[in-house]
Amino acid sequence: MTASRRLSAFRPFTVAAVGLSALLVLSGCGLGSPEPSTPVSSEPSGNDLQSDIDLAIRTSQSYWKAVFESQGAQFASVEGVIPYTDPSEGDCGGEPFVLNNAFFCPVGNFIAYDQNFLAGQYQAIGDSFVYYLIGHEYAHAVQDLLGIEHRLTIQHELQADCMAGAYLGDSVRASILAVEEGDIDELLISLETVGDQPGVPWFAEGAHGTGQQRTEAFAQGYDGTTGGGSAVSACLA
């Protein structure tokens, strides 16, 4: 996934014309053992990863600012996006950071992520994981800004997946981001990777949803509405 200004540098995958939900049906929701596309370049460097992180943050912030302004509402961006490699490097309301994780901290209004975890997923899955992860955590920031609360954790998480899908879908349709061949495979693998392990009850505290549930929620936001306007309305209905 890249900024659209680099469109001439690759052959785009025409996902916007087909719709992500249609692709999910054709691929069996990508929940078995999806095969990643064959790499066309060498292993991504740390500089590539940071560039994708920066672009994901910048486009997420710009997207939500535009959504809020279109509704005549005031938008406040997160205070920062903090990488860490050790739990002792920071805390959220007195709770230490957690390894192999990424989260939005409402107390300090910031997003934090385990740098080694994200780098590992970036190398194992691809750059789409970065845009999904940042999009999901920024969605939590927007939920907090809007005062959205849910009785069950899974409801909050699936809505954030939907909102992440809306951000990416609208950004692709607006040619702000461009989808490269193989990115859809990466998104499907990403959503399966972050799904709850078998046996986790849907009502459990901390439940996020199965891979299939998270994929369906993301696709709902990505495809959005057919009547124009922001795809976010598909997530807030």
Rounded to whole angstroms, what are the CA distances from 56 to 13, 70, 147, 189, 207? 19, 21, 24, 18, 25
0.75 exceeded by the pTM?
Answer: yes
pLDDT tens-digit profile of 138-148? 999 999 999 99
**Listed range (16-20, 122-126, 151-155) with the worst mean pLDDT:** 16-20
pLDDT tens-digit profile of 146-174? 999 998 899 999 999 999 999 999 999 99
Residue with tokens 């194992």: 124
* pLDDT attached to residue 205: 80
Q: Is the pLDDT of residue 27 over 60?
A: no
Between strands 110-114 and 80-84, the pairing is parallel
- Give the DSSP per-residue string, 180-202: BTTHHHHHHHHHHHTSPPTT--T
Alpha-carbon span 176 to 168, nearest angstrom: 9
* Largest Cα–Cα separation, the chain: 48
For the chain, the structural domain boundaries read 2-236
pLDDT tens-digit profile of 177-225? 999 989 999 999 999 988 888 887 777 888 899 999 999 999 999 998 6
